[in-house]
C-alpha cells in the first residue's frame, strides 16, 4: 500500500461512482480518513452497512469539514447545489473535484461557487455500469479505464497533478483536455448511444400489445444489448442530455442525415453502399479490440 495522498477524502454522493471511489481509495490507502454524505437516510444506512467509509451522514457541510480532497459524486444537475452547501465549510487549500459526465456545464455552474483559496479541478472517470446506489460499486471499476481531467485555464498545476495522481492510483489511464472538446467526444461515444438505446426500447414498448410480448420473448441479440444500456439511471441521463444540449443536438443532426441516407440505400436496393458501411464499422470494432477498449 502506498503513502496516503490526502489526510481526509470527502465524497458528496455515495452511489455507483462515489462508493466505487470509496472502495478503491480504501483498498489502495489513498486517504487517511474517508467521509461521505448523501441525500437520503436510506442511502446513508446502506453505505454504513457496507462499511466502505469511516463517516457517513446526510449533511454535506459536515462531511467536508477538514477534508483536503472533496469529490462531488452527485448527478450533474445537483452539483451546484452541493457546492453551494459545502463552500463555506471548505478548508483553505482544499481540492474539490467532480465525476460528472458533462464538463462545460459543471465548470459554468460549479466553478464560480468555489471559494478563494480552494482549487476546483473537474474530472470524468469514463467508467460505469447501468446500476446505481452504494451496493452497485466495486473497487476495480476504474481499472484500465480512461479518466479525463478538464482543468479550468489558469488553475493551480500542483492541484491538477494531485487529482491526476489520485486517479492513476485508482487504476485509471489519464488524459487531459479542454472541457468543450470532452463534451463533443463524449456526445458521440457515450451520450448518443444511450439516446439511441432509450429510443429503440421506447419504440418497442409503444408497439401494440401482441407484438410487444413477442419482442420481450425473442429479445436475444441486438435488442437485449440495447435494453441493458436503456436501464441506466434516469436522473443521471436526464441531467446529461439537459447539460450537454449543444453537442448532443449537433451529433443527433449528423445521425439523422446518415439514417436518411441508409433509408434511401435500403429503399433503392443499394446493397454495395450498405456493405461498404458495414465493412467500415466492422473495422472500427477490430481497432477497439486492439486498443483494449472493447
Ligand atoms: P447514483 O448511483 O444514482 O448515485 C447518486 C448519488 O448522488 C447518491 O448518493 C444520491 O443520493 C446523490 N444525490 C444527491 N442529490 C441528488 C439528486 N438531486 N438526485 C439524485 N441523486 C442525488 O449515481 P452515479 O452513477 O454514481 O453517478 C454520479 C455521477 O457520476 C453523475 O454526475 C454521473 O454523470 C457521473 N458518472 C456516472 C457514470 C455511470 O455510468 N453511472 C460514469 C461516469 C460518471 P441518494 O441516493 O441519497 O438520493
* Candidate from 133-137, 152-156, 221-225 with smallest mean pLDDT: 221-225
Residue 119 banded pLDDT, cuts 50, 70, 90: very high
What's the confidence (pLDDT) of residue 77?
96
Q: Is the CB of 128 under 6 A from ligand 1?
A: yes
What's the confidence (pLDDT) of residue 218?
83
Mean pLDDT of 36-50: 98
What's the confidence (pLDDT) of residue 2?
67
Name the percent of the chain lying above pLDDT 90. 89
Grid cell 481499472 in the structure block, residue: 143
Q: Is the CB of 18 under 6 A from ligand 1?
A: yes
Residue 294 banded pLDDT, cuts 50, 70, 90: confident
What's the confidence (pLDDT) of residue 5?
97
Mean pLDDT of 159-168: 98
- The 69-72 sheet, strands edge to edge: 55-57, 31-37, 6-12, 69-72, 95-98, 119-121
Half-sphere exposure of 240 (CA within 13 A, CB side): 23
* CB-based contact 79:109 (threshold 8 Å): yes
Residue 1 banded pLDDT, cuts 50, 70, 90: low
Mean pLDDT computed over every residue of the chain: 95
What's the confidence (pLDDT) of residue 211?
85
Mean pLDDT of 64-72: 98
pTM listed for this prediction? 0.94
Q: Is the CB of 122 under 6 A from ligand 1?
A: no
Residue 206 banded pLDDT, cuts 50, 70, 90: confident
Protein residue closest via CA to atom 31 of ligand 1: 75
Handedness of CA 131, 32, 11, 112 (dihedral sign): negative
Ligand 1 nearest atom to the CA of residue 14, by list position: 9
Query: What is the Cα–Cα distance from 186 to 198, expressed in whole angstroms?
Result: 17
Query: What is the Cα–Cα distance from 74 to 77, expressed in whole angstroms?
Result: 8
What's the confidence (pLDDT) of residue 18?
98
Grid cell 473495422 in the structure block, residue: 283
> Ligand 1 centroid vs 135 CA: distance in angstroms?
13
What's the confidence (pLDDT) of residue 293?
76
* CB-based contact 145:173 (threshold 8 Å): yes
Grid cell 485509471 in the structure block, residue: 172
Query: What is the Cα–Cα distance from 265 to 271, expressed in whole angstroms?
Result: 7
* CB-based contact 60:35 (threshold 8 Å): no
Residue 268 banded pLDDT, cuts 50, 70, 90: very high
What's the confidence (pLDDT) of residue 216?
82
Name the percent of the chain lying above pLDDT 70. 99
What's the confidence (pLDDT) of residue 23?
98
Supply the Cα-derived Rg of the chain in whole angstroms: 21
Indicate if the pLDDT at residue 248 is higher than 80: yes
Specify the 3-state DSSP secondary structure of 154.
coil
Indicate if the pLDDT at residue 112 is higher than 90: yes
Query: What is the Cα–Cα distance from 255 to 171, expressed in whole angstroms?
Result: 34
Query: What is the Cα–Cα distance from 125 to 148, expressed in whole angstroms?
Result: 6
> Ligand 1 centroid vs 248 CA: distance in angstroms?
21
Q: Is the CB of 35 under 6 A from ligand 1?
A: no
Indicate if the pLDDT at residue 161 is higher than 70: yes
Q: Is the CB of 101 under 6 A from ligand 1?
A: yes
* Cα pseudo-dihedral 231, 80, 88, 41, rounded to 10: -30
> Which residues does residue 97 pair with via DSSP β-bridges, in sequence order?
71, 121
Best mean pLDDT range from 61-75, 207-221, 277-291: 61-75
Amino acid at each position: 500500500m502506498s503513502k496516503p495522498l490526502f489526510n481526509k477524502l470527502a465524497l458528496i454522493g455515495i452511489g455507483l461512482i462515489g462508493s466505487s471511489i470509496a472502495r478503491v481509495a480504501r483498498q489502495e490507502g489513498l486517504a487517511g480518513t474517508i467521509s461521505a454524505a448523501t441525500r437520503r437516510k436510506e442511502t446513508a444506512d446502506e453505505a454504513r452497512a457496507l462499511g466502505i467509509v469511516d463517516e457517513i451522514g446526510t449533511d454535506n457541510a459536515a462531511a467536508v469539514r477538514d477534508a483536503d480532497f472533496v469529490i462531488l459524486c452527485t448527478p450533474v444537475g445537483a452539483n451546484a447545489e452541493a457546492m453551494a452547501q459545502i463552500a463555506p465549510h471548505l478548508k483553505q487549500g482544499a481540492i474539490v473535484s467532480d465525476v460528472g459526465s458533462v464538463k462545460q456545464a459543471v465548470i459554468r455552474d460549479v466553478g464560480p461557487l468555489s471559494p478563494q483559496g480552494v482549487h476546483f479541478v473537474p474530472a470524468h472517470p469514463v467508467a460505469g455500469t447501468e446500476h446505481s446506489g452504494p451496493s452497485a460499486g466495486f473497487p476495480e471499476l476504474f481499472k484500465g479505464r480512461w479518466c479525463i481531467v478538464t482543468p479550468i485555464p489558469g488553475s493551480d498545476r500542483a492541484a491538477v497533478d494531485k487529482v491526476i495522481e489520485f486517479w492513476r492510483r485508482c487504476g485509471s489511464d489519464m488524459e487531459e483536455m479542454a472541457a468543450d472538446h470532452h463534451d463533443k467526444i463524449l456526445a458521440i461515444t457515450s451520450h448518443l448511444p444511450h439516446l439511441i438505446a432509450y429510443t429503440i426500447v421506447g419504440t418497442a414498448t409503444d408497439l401494440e400489445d401482441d407484438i410487444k410480448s413477442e419482442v420481450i420473448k425473442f429479445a436475444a441479440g441486438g435488442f437485449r444489448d440495447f435494453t441493458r444500456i436503456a436501464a441506466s439511471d434516469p436522473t443521471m441521463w436526464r441531467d446529461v442530455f439537459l447539460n450537454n444540449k449543444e453537442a448532443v443536438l449537433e451529433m443527433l443532426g449528423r445521425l439523422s442525415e446518415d439514417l436518411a441516407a441508409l433509408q434511401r440505400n435500403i429503399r433503392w436496393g443499394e446493397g454495395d453502399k450498405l456493405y461498404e458501411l458495414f465493412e467500415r464499422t466492422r473495422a472500427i470494432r477490430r481497432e477497439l479490440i486492439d486498443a483494449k477498449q472493447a
